[in-house]
Amino acid sequence: MAKTAEDIAKAIHENRGWFIAIGVVLIVVGTAAILFPFLSALSTELFVGWLLVIGGIVQIVHAFRAKEWSGFLWELLIGGLELAAGVILLAYPLAGLVTLTVFLAVLFIVEGAFRAALAFKIKPQAGWGWVLFGGILSGIVGVMIWAKLPSSALWAIGLLVGINIAMAGWTLVMLAMSSGNAPAEKKTS
């Protein structure tokens, strides 16, 4: 069911405190990543490595627990691939940063397009321009990451992830702040 501009405005206004609170948290997290770019980049790489190791192990265990399933071999191969990728990221974190930098560039470009689409979806809602601005900024960040490969992988991930997270926070805060007073109730005749 499509929401009207009034429905969107009411939902934003009713949840204004949450928009602001989440926005502030994202601004703080993003600022920390900007201040410590190498640490945040390395933390991101190691976190992804561990997620892949855990995910790979779980899939391998599941493959053996459900051997009779027709997807046994495929699940075993996928689990093995995830496990191997995770181990490689953990064993070679600096090389893993370059790989993650490529994925991050693509993520930001796609995220920027999605945010821009969201902006046009909620238009003419007050603050929709901030959502569009956030989408454009995400796209630019993605292009910047891609353009500086591989030399900037040591600092770019942390810095640009921080900028992206902080911008997402500012987007939520500005959207909430622009919601103004409670929308007028519709009068029924």
- In the predicted structure, residue 189 carries a pLDDT above the cut 70: no
C-alpha triplet 58, 61, 64: angle, nearest 5°: 150
Confidence of residue 55 (pLDDT cuts 50, 70, 90): very high
Please tell me the predicted confidence (pLDDT) of residue 2.
Answer: 65
Say what percent of the chain tops pLDDT 70. 94
What's the mean pLDDT in 101-118? 90
Confidence of residue 113 (pLDDT cuts 50, 70, 90): very high
Of 57, 4, 34, the residue nearest 158 (C-alpha): 34
Please tell me the predicted confidence (pLDDT) of residue 71.
Answer: 81
Higher pLDDT, 112 or 182: 112
Higher pLDDT, 53 or 138: 53
Of 57, 29, 38, the residue nearest 152 (C-alpha): 38
